Amino acid sequence: MIDVIDYGFGNIGSVIKALEYIGYSCRIVDDPKGIHAASGVILPGVGAFGAAMDALRRNGLDLAIKEYIASGAPFLGVCLGMQLLFEKSEESGEGTSGLGILPGVVRRFPAEAGLKVPQIGWNCFERAPDPVFRKGDYVYFVHSYYCDPERDGDVAATATYGLEYACAVSRDNVLAMQFHPEKSGEVGLSILNRWARRTR
């Protein structure tokens, strides 16, 4: 059973539909006690970094997520769910603390001529060192901030939007992606399926 965490900031419905479409059983959880028995956990997310972290802390889900990841079970972060895994974000100005699972900072795309922020639409992988991804595949993005990992070894895939950045990260049992696999057609479903196989 794959648990999808509901903390008020996730695109829950489309994630659930995508998982069911590719043949996986899943459920929505908002209780920190509920996720420990899951074979895999997904942290989706859409919205502001600071408010999302406040919601996770208020419900005790921040500690539950850290404990689950420490157990070694498969964990997936999607969009804001990827950003929350990092130490802090520039979104609030001074830098809001995240879950601290991965060292690094979430930064706003730089203001450059012709670069519209947020990035909305399809973009392709420039590099894809993690086998979950395929170089050149196109996936769907909606975001104004990007993750800047401290360690090159955590970068699972990159895309270019004004600069080349980590659009996916991985380490041990943790995989996270800035784009929305559930909105990325057959490519996105294939990526989601390659992760979900780890939960069986």
Q: Which position among 26, 143, 147, 182 bears the catalytic label?
A: 182
Q: Which position among 67, 124, 180, 186 bears the catalytic label?
A: 180
Beta bridge partners of 78: 177
User: Is 143 among the catalytic positions?
Assistant: no
Q: Which position among 79, 91, 147, 167 bears the catalytic label?
A: 79
User: Is 79 among the catalytic positions?
Assistant: yes
Burial of residue 117 (number of CB atoms within 10 Å: 0-12, 13-18, 19+): middle
Cα separation, 149 vs 159, in Å, equals 14
Are 96 and 50 in contact by the 8 Å Cβ rule? The answer is yes
Output DSSP code: residue 127: B
Structure tokens at 137: 């595949």
Classified as helix, coil or strand, 173 is coil
User: Is 182 among the catalytic positions?
Assistant: yes
Output DSSP code: residue 109: P
Beta bridge partners of 28: 4
Residue 47: which of 8, 103, 102 has the closest Cα? 8
Cα separation, 146 vs 178, in Å, equals 8
What b/e sequence results for 99-108 when a residue is b if at least 16 CB atoms lie within 10 Å of its CB, and e otherwise? bebbebbbbe
Which sequence positions are flagged as catalytic?
Answer: 79, 180, 182
